[in-house]
Amino acid sequence: MEHMPDSMFKEKSGDATDSWNRYAEDFALAASLGLNAFRFGIEWARIEPEQGLISNTVLDHYDRVIDSCLAHGMTPVATLHHFSSPHWILPRRGWKNPELAKQFGDFAHRIATRYGDRVNWFCTINEVNTPMQMTGNGLLSPEMAALLNPARERAAQYFGVPIDDFVPFLPCGDSEEAIAVILDAHRRAVDAVHAGAPNAMAGVTLSMQEHYGFDGGEEQAAHVDEVLNRRWLRDFGTVGDFVGVQNYGRISYDHTGRILGGDCLMDNNLPMVSTTLGTCAREAAEITGKPILITEHGADLTTDRDDVRQWFIAESLAGLASTIADGVDVRGYIHWTMIDNFEWFMGWRSHAGLFEIDRETQRRTARSSTATYSQIVRANKA
C-alpha cells in the first residue's frame, strides 16, 4: 500500500531500522541496559509469502533471532500479527473472510510448535482495536481523517478489489464483520499456542488510552471508553492468558467535546499524563480478570525533549508500581520503543526510541533517557 500513487503513507519504509539483519546488535544494546525481555514480531507475510508456500529460510532466521535473544539473557515476547498481513489475503476479502481466521490459526500453530520450546509469551494480534480508534475517536489528524475514505477507495481500485471487500487489517478492520473474523482469529491463535506450546502464555494486545471526562464531559468519556476500550477487553481480553496493555496518554472531554492541546504534549499531540498507565492496567485487570503485561508504553519526543521522556518514564513507572501495590497482577513492562522506528502512516516522524537512529548508516545512538530507564530496570524500582 505504501508504494501506490497518492498513498496515505508519508514515505516508504525501505529497510526501516534493519533489525532483520541487526537483531544481535539490538539485543546487545538492550542487554547493556539490563533488560530481561524483548518484544519482536514473527511475520506471517515473510513465512507464508504465497498461500500454502512456507519459507524454511525465514523459519530458520527466526530460530536464530530467538536463540540470540536468549543468549543475551532476555525472554522473547513474540507477536504473531503486527498490522501487516500477507498480500494474498486481499483478493479474498481480507479480514472479512471467515476462512482467514482458520488460516491465521494454522500459522499460529506452526509458530508455537516450532518455537514453543524457547518462547513462553505470544501476543496473538497487536492492537485489535486500532482500526476502530482511527475512525471512532478522532485520533487521526483532521488532515488524515479527511484522506481516509478516499485513500481506501483508491487502494481498492489499485489492487482491483471491490471497495466493500477491500479489508487489510489497517486501516480497514473496523467493521463488525471484520471484527468478528479478527476475534475468531485471536481465539484460534490462543488455542493453537496452547496446543503447540502447552507451557506458553497467549494474549491479545490493546491500544488503551485513558478517556477522562470533567465539566460536563463525563458521559462522552464513558461512551468512548466503552467503544474503544471496555468492549474490546470484554470480547478479546477475556480470551487467553493475559492482556497486553499499550498506553501512551489521556484523552480528555468537557461539555464542548474532546479537548485538543494541553500543557505537556508529545510530538504527536497526545497529552502526557503519567497516571494513565496505571489507570489503564487497572481497568484491563478489573474487566478481564487476567494478568496484565505492559507491551507498549513510551513517548514520541525528539532528542531535544529527552528530559521530558526521562520524567515521563520515571513518573509512569512509579504510578504503575502503586497499581501493583494495590494488587493488580502486572507481570512486566516493555518500553516502546528500543529504536526510533518507521511508524506506519507517519513514517520517520515518530521519535519514540530510547536510541535514535541515523537513517543513512543505521547507527544507533543512546539518548540520555536510556540511563534513566536502565537505572530503574536494574533496581526493579521506580
Q: In what order do the strands lie in the sheet with 242-247?
A: 37-41, 75-79, 121-123, 201-207, 242-247, 292-297, 330-333
Mean pLDDT of the chain: 94
DSSP H helical ranges for 127-205: 130-136, 142-159, 169-172, 176-196
Given a cut of 60, whether residue 137 has pLDDT beyond it is no
Angle at CA of residue 10, ends 22 and 171, nearest 5° = 90
Q: pLDDT exceeding 70 applies to what percent of the chain?
A: 98
Are the C-beta atoms of 18 and 8 separated by less than 8 Å?
no
Given a cut of 60, whether residue 107 has pLDDT beyond it is yes
pLDDT at 138: 54
**pTM of the predicted model, to two decimals?**
0.96
Given pLDDT bands bounded at 50, 70 and 90, which one contains residue 139?
low
DSSP H helical ranges for the chain: 19-32, 44-47, 56-71, 98-115, 130-136, 142-159, 169-172, 176-196, 218-225, 231-232, 276-288, 306-325, 369-379
Are the C-beta atoms of 132 and 227 separated by less than 8 Å?
yes
Q: Domains in the chain, ordered, with CATH?
A: 19-376 (3.20.20.80)
Given a cut of 90, whether residue 171 has pLDDT beyond it is no
Question: What digits encode the pLDDT tens for the residues 205-255?
Answer: 999 999 999 999 999 999 999 999 999 999 999 999 999 999 999 999 999
Question: What digits encode the pLDDT tens for the residues 276-304?
Answer: 999 999 999 999 999 999 999 999 999 99
Q: Name the most confidently modeled range: 105-114, 135-144, 261-270.
A: 105-114
Given pLDDT bands bounded at 50, 70 and 90, which one contains residue 260?
confident
